[in-house]
Structure 1
Amino acid sequence: VRASGTEPLVRVMVEAESEADAGAHADALAAAVGAALG
């Protein structure tokens, strides 16, 4: 997870054994970041 620096975004990158797992982890991280930042 890192701030973009050039856009009002936070980039979330994950690696997992399956695309479904990666998507689930990315969604959970994005929700946590969204809740923390409002």
Structure 2
Amino acid sequence: MLLRPSGTEPIVRVMVEAPEQDRANAVAERLATVVRERLAL
């Protein structure tokens, strides 16, 4: 998993690798939700 701010856009990039695509998608969605919640102003 990798979380990093974009160098060109005001966004945080969420990247996840897993043996199953469904698992990677689920983890990425959960992380994205946490990032959105924490960065909400």
Report the TM range for the smaller structure's normalisation: over 0.9
What is the RMSD of the two structures over their aligned residues, measured on CA atoms? 0.5
The runs of 5 or more residues in structure 2 that have no matched partner are: none
Where has structure 1 moved over 3 Å in runs of 4 or more? none
- Report percent identity of matched pairs: 53
Please give the TM-score of this superposition, normalised by the length of structure 1: 0.93
Q: Give 1 or 2: higher strand fraction.
A: 2
TM-score using structure 2 length: 0.87
Q: How many residues in Structure 1 have an aligned counterpart in Structure 2?
A: 38
